[in-house]
Structure 1
């Protein structure tokens, strides 16, 4: 098996940035991605607009030109795809990593298609794969989804959306404007404070005028074929319902991290152990990059503030 200086697990923006930096510094590398280029971004809602402006999504100083100051999903996919292709990055797509084993000072990476050996590993897998479940009867029903794609699907339907973050609020507004009868079920007393500042007034006004119904301090308790039960501060409410979007956030694959031997904090944040100067984990030669560094605090790391991980890691590898 070919020996690589570094094997990068994850072909999203930060994994791509690590590949660019490795190539620039003359290291042999391989990026492994279980889906298409920037798989997580590909699975974002079709109309999604970033909170960050385009220049803050740039990697390796390559200009990102968008139609608006804050680019949309399709523009980001174009940008990162062009970086991969124009720089001829070595990336294997639709190849899932199944196991990583360390023996002596080398890592063996076993995938759905082959095996590879690396002197170093960079884990840049993000957090979008595993949804935070609401754990209620009926959650596994076909009418329930933890991912939102296109509002057209929900036109003329009674749609319940669980959550109060950007993903839930974007979905509520888009689906309402495509003709859905939207009900928001919000655990807290208000719409989330981290909702995009140009979107938050919109959803608040739609709720005030009655276009979108919102239940605050409420949780969904049961999902049935044509109804849902909601626990509110005033008691149980039963609503007619066609579909449920449970947009309650996502988490890294902690089981995979544990199998690698990465230590996690003992509190509910589950923060992985790493050196912030080098991004090296408690396992020598295994580095963390991107939002995976935040454990359950997935809102703290974005493309714009984790781009720096790539040069930090490659510098540390070169200085070994």
Structure 2
């Protein structure tokens, strides 16, 4: 059985940052990523532009040069790929961790390919894999997707976009401009306050002029083959519809943490328990890094304010190593 001082679960930007820090400190590490490199970023919409400027997406003080102040998806993929290849980071792609057990002060990490033993473990798995479901009849129909990629697909189609976050607004605008007949269905009274400041006026003006239809204070009741039924202020309405983009957000894999023994809050937010100075959880040797630290509040942690987790965690691992040597 292969033994490592440190296994990092997740090959996103923060997992990469942890690998870089481990390599600098001479720690025998391995990054395990269930998909492609920076899998979540790869699955972002093809035309997505980040809210953050390029320097805020940098890790380990490696410059990120982009054409515009706020980089796009393809530039971020290039940046993080270059970091991994140039630094020859030890990463296994398309290797999914299926089970983690702690035995005799070590972690047994079983993937779909190999079983490892590790002294320490970092979970940096993000949150993009599990969508917040609507839990309505018809949500499992082929016309419904919780992920948005390319607006061309929806050209000349009647498209319902559910949600009012950055992803929903971007999808609504791009699809409208590619010829889709877009209807937004929003649970709240207005477009979300955290929508990118240069995009928010655009969608509000398109709604005001009638180019994009919007139902506020509304919710989806059911989805049929050719229609979608919504409830707005107590009134039921049926809208002609070809496709549905349910962009209602995503959540971390809390069951994965619970199976490892990580304590979560019972207030519906599922905040994991960890030491804010070391990022170590209630399980000795098990650390959290990145957005997963925020529970359901996935807007609390992102690349620019969680890249420091790598240094905090590796500093603690190295300090324990000195004590035990």
The TM-score by the shorter chain falls in which range? Answer: over 0.9
Q: Distance in 2 between matches of 1:57 and 1:268?
A: 30
**2:133 aligned partner:** 133
**2:323 aligned partner:** none
**How many residues get paired?**
320
**2:79 aligned partner:** 79
Q: Does 1:48 align with 2:48?
A: yes
**1:306 aligned partner:** 306
**1:270 aligned partner:** 270
Displacement of 1:2 in angstroms is 2.7
Aligned runs of 1:1-320 on 2, under 5 Å?
1-233=1-233, 235-320=235-320
Displacement of 1:234 in angstroms is 5.7
Deviations 1:111-130 (A, max 9, x none): 00111111000000000000
Q: Distance in 1 between matches of 2:80 and 2:233?
A: 46
Deviations 1:211-253 (A, max 9, x none): 0000000001110000111101261111110000000000000
Where structure 2 has 5 or more consecutive residues not aligned to the other structure, the ranges are 321-325
Over 2 Å off, 4+ runs:
none
Q: Distance in 1 between matches of 2:287 and 2:140?
A: 35
Deviations 1:85-131 (A, max 9, x none): 00000000000000011012111100001111110000000000000
Q: Distance in 1 between matches of 2:171 and 2:268?
A: 28
- After TM superposition, the score normalised by the length of structure 1 is 0.99
User: Residue 305 of structure 1 aligns to a residue in which SS?
Assistant: helix
Let me know the Cα RMSD of the aligned residues.
0.6
Q: Distance in 1 between matches of 2:41 and 2:210?
A: 33
Q: Distance in 2 between matches of 1:3 and 1:312?
A: 23
